[in-house]
Amino acid sequence: MRIGFAALFAGVMASPALAEDLVFTLVNDSSYTIVEMNVSPVDEELWGENILTVDSVAPGVSGDVTIADGLDVCDYDLRFVTEEGIEATQQQNLCEINTFTIND
């Protein structure tokens, strides 16, 4: 089973200046608990470290995510891992969103 993803564009679009931290709200609107979130610029072959600052993100929970990698890119690959070991990936321009929602 895979997790579906939908980027939810809430409010005014965010457009951070180059090399600023990217901050958005992650909403877990799925029925799975997320235990790992990795990001990497789309041109990178390897995933970055787990960027969750909590042990897990339960269904119905949301929180702010900061990507402070000092890069001047917007397009990232995102990888989510559930506590059951299910992986899902999505490519997203993170400069254009305020909220990213994970759905089943």
Domain coordinates in residue numbering, the chain: 4-103
Would you identify the CATH topology of the domain 4-103? Answer: Immunoglobulin-like (2.60.40)
Q: How far apart are CA 97 and CA 75, in angstroms?
A: 11
b/e burial code for range 49-88 (CB count within 10 A of at least 16 → b): eebbeeeebeeeeeeebebebeeebbebbbbbbbeeeeeb
CA 40 – CA 31 distance, rounded (Å): 25
pLDDT of the residue at 70? 85
pLDDT at 11: 31
Over 60: is that where the pLDDT of 63 sits?
Answer: yes
Q: 10 Å Cβ neighbour count for 98?
A: 14
Dig out the tokens for 32 from the structure.
Answer: 């799975």
Q: How far apart are CA 76 and CA 37, in angstroms?
A: 12
For 67-97, what is each residue's pLDDT tens digit?
Answer: 988 888 999 999 999 999 999 999 999 999 9
First to last CA, the chain: 9
